[in-house]
Structure 1
Amino acid sequence: MTDNAFTPRVFSGIKPSGGLTLGNYLGAIKRWVDMQSPDMDNIYCAVDLHAITVWQDPPALKAGTREIAAGLLASGIDPENSILFNQSQVPEHAQLAWIFNCVARVGWMNRMTQFKDKAGKNAEKASLGLYAYPSLMAADILMYHATHVPVGEDQKQHVELTRDIAAKFNSDFGVDFFPQTEAVIEGPGTRVMNLRDGTKKMSKSGDSDMERINMLDDADTIAKKFKKAKTDPDGLPETVEGLAGRPEAKNLVDIYASLSDMTPEAVIAQYPGASWGTFKPALADLAVTKLAPISDEMKRLMDDPAEIDRKLARGAQKAREIATPILEKTYDIVGLLRA
Structure 2
Amino acid sequence: MAADILLFQATYVPVGKDQIQHIEIARDIATYFNHTFGTTFTLPEYVIQEEGAILPGLDGRKMSKSYGNVIPLFAEKEKLRKLILKIKTDSSLPNEPKELETLFTIYKEFATEDEIQSMREKYETGIGWGDVKKELFRVIDRELAGPREKYVMYMNEPNLLYVALEKGAERARTMAKVNLAEIKKRIGFERGH
Where does residue 246 of structure 1 map in the other structure? none
Where does residue 76 of structure 2 map in the other structure? 218
- Residue-by-residue CA offset, 1:236-265 (whole Å, 9 max, x unaligned): 34xxxxx5xxxxx1x532322221243896
CA contact (8 A) 1:149 1:183 kept: yes
Matches within 5 A, 1:62-73: none
CA distance in 1, matches of 2:28, 2:105: 33
What amino acid does structure 2 have at the position aligned with 1:142? L
What amino acid does structure 2 have at the position aligned with 1:177? T
1:138 aligns with 2:2: yes
CA spacing shift, 1:162–1:266, aligned 2, 3 Å: farther
CA distance in 2, matches of 1:161, 1:264: 42
- Residue-by-residue CA offset, 1:199-247 (whole Å, 9 max, x unaligned): x3x33x4242xx112233101111111221233456634xxxxx5xxxx
1:162 aligns with 2:26: yes
CA spacing shift, 1:187–1:220, aligned 2, 3 Å: farther
How far 1:283 sits from its partner (Å)?
0.3
Match of 1:230 among 63, 82, 88: 88
1:180 counterpart SS class = coil
Aligned-pair identity in percent equals 32
- Residue-by-residue CA offset, 1:83-126 (whole Å, 9 max, x unaligned): xxxxxxxxxxxxxxxxxxxxxxxxxxxxxxxxxxxxxxxxxxxx
Q: CA RMSD in A?
A: 2.9
Match of 1:147 among 11, 16, 40: 11
CA spacing shift, 1:178–1:222, aligned 2, 3 Å: same
Where does residue 43 of structure 2 map in the other structure? 180
2:53 counterpart SS class = coil
Unpaired stretches in structure 1, ≥5 consecutive residues = 1-136, 238-242, 244-248
What is the aligned length? 186
CA distance in 1, matches of 2:113, 2:4: 32
CA contact (8 A) 1:254 1:264 kept: no
* TM-score (normalizing by structure 1): 0.47
CA distance in 2, matches of 1:164, 1:264: 44
- Residue-by-residue CA offset, 1:168-200 (whole Å, 9 max, x unaligned): 4334x24332222122334743333333243x3
More deviation, 174-183/265-274 = 265-274
What amino acid does structure 2 have at the position aligned with 1:141? I
CA distance in 1, matches of 2:151, 2:105: 25
CA contact (8 A) 1:159 1:181 kept: yes
Unpaired stretches in structure 2, ≥5 consecutive residues = none
CA distance in 1, matches of 2:21, 2:85: 35
